[in-house]
Amino acid sequence: MPEPENPTLLGRLAVHYKLISMDQLAEATREQARRGGRTTLGEVLLELGHLQPSQLQQLVVVQKEVLARRAAEAKPNPPAEAPAASPSAGTNAAARPLAPAPVRAQSGPPAGREPRSIEDLLREAVRLGASDVHVHAGAKLRLRLHGRFVDHGSETLDESAARELVHGLLSDAEREALERDGELDLCHTLPGVARFRVNVFRQQRGVDAVLRVIPLEPPSLAGLGLPQGLARFTNFHQGMVLVTGPAGCGKSSTLAALVHLINEERREHVLTIEDPIEYVHTSKRCLVNQRNVRRHTESFARALRAGLREDPDVIVIGELRDLETISLALTAAETGHFVLATLHTNDTIRTINRLVGAFPPDQQDQVRTMISESLRAVISQRLVRTATNDRRVPALEVLVVNKAVGNLIRENKTFQIRSILQTGVAQGMITLDQSLAQLVQQGVVSREEAARLVEDPKKLGGAVA
């Protein structure tokens, strides 16, 4: 696949977005030179397996925009209305959703021209590597970059301007629903750019929206910075694996990476129930059906009841929100299905207590037995800023439910699980403190950043920032 001139720029961009390493770039450059320059750098990177075709295609788009910007900047007195192309345009978010944006974004993106439409704003947000976009009447546009809230542009949106931007996302029916209900959840797709999970709501100053950026392609474990060892949790054919953590910690992305792995390696029927559908999974080896709550079905519970009659092998639940959904998920896991789901809890042990506590006291003994027999693992995660402040990486707590853990759950002694968790490294277990200490020792995360989340500061004692 030929790329425009300036392979040096293409290689630098690939390294910048952490699609390849400096060593891989050097290897490709040597190979290109050995061939006498008859093969483009992009083709060599593809042949060596360092890039995927879709990644190269997006890098070429970025390179063209950077070259066009340079050409425009070289002209005297450029037109005032000409938009400034961002050097980070076209970031391959599907492959590297945590890849860094340009350094200049650390103190907030340049004001530039104000977006003329919601699509302009969303494109720019993706180019800058934002995870969230906030449109608020009576305030400036804001982006969340690597966990930090930054202004985007210099103008304060009045009620009319905010409404115009938000309404650009909505169909007539959705506008009516917003007027009627005061709030609305949906997904919006910008072809070739990204998908966006959207929450629109009315407040005292007008209409606001918060948009979460979702890459077009499901992520891989490596692309999320997750250990490949988590792949073993996709080998179960019965039982339940939970992905937990606070809001905005990457639960949906981790869940999507596990589903993506199953889709590539198994021949089964995968049913997902989400609100809304975030990552779109194209059927590969698996048959994947995705249902959107309130669009394709009334509720998680109703979809689960129906799903048990739809011959699924794997059931993916976007969130265990209520007692009925939790009960049906446990039943599905007990009756020969593999269930993957997320839950808003801060660690693995609280996850178990939360499941039990959702039920009335007179049912909890039975529920403990169900959980002890069907729960296979809990992955609890947080996102922490790197020492260079240019991206966020996951810190994990992983609990594998072995016989000893199962017995403690059944006997209502979950407070004793912590000791098993701390000594279960050989079985793939790790505490959040241990994970943070590893990140500090590797120089990925600063001691100060890790200290924000660590439970026992002594665990960082031997770590060097």
pLDDT tens digits along 188-223? 999 889 999 999 999 999 999 999 999 999 999 999
So what's the pLDDT on residue 147?
87
10 Å CB burial of residue 5 (0-12, 13-18, 19+) is: exposed
Asked whether 223 and 254 are in contact (CB, 8 A), the reply is: no
Is CATH 3.10.200.10 what the domain over 103-214 is classified as, yes or no? no
DSSP annotation string for 284-318 = SSSEEEEEEBTTTBS-HHHHHHHHTTS--SEEEES
* Nearest Cα residue to 173 out of 162, 164, 184, 165: 184
User: Which tokens in the block code for residue 106?
Assistant: 């650390």
Domain boundaries, the chain: 7-74, 103-214, 228-430
Q: Architecture of 228-430 per CATH?
A: 3-Layer(aba) Sandwich (3.40)
Render pLDDT for 35-54 as a digit per residue (tens, 0 to 9): 877 778 888 888 888 887 77
pLDDT in tens, 104-137: 333 333 333 455 689 989 999 999 999 999 999 9
Band (60; pLDDT cuts 50, 70, 90): confident
Query: Maximum CA pair distance of the chain?
Result: 79
User: What six digits make up the tokens of 110?
Assistant: 């340049």
21 CB-near residues (< 8 Å, 6+ apart):
15
pLDDT of residue 72: 58
The mean-pLDDT minimum among 86-95, 149-158, 297-306, 310-319 falls in 86-95
Q: Does position 81 have pLDDT exceeding 60, yes or no? A: no
Q: pLDDT digit string (tens) for 278-336?
A: 999 999 999 999 999 988 999 999 999 999 999 999 999 999 999 999 999 999 999 99
Taking residues 233-249, report their average pLDDT: 97
Scanning 91-247, the segments in alpha helix (DSSP H) are: 118-128, 159-167, 172-181
Question: How many Cα neighbours within 13 Å face the side chain of 174?
Answer: 17
Fold agreement between 103-214 and 228-430: no
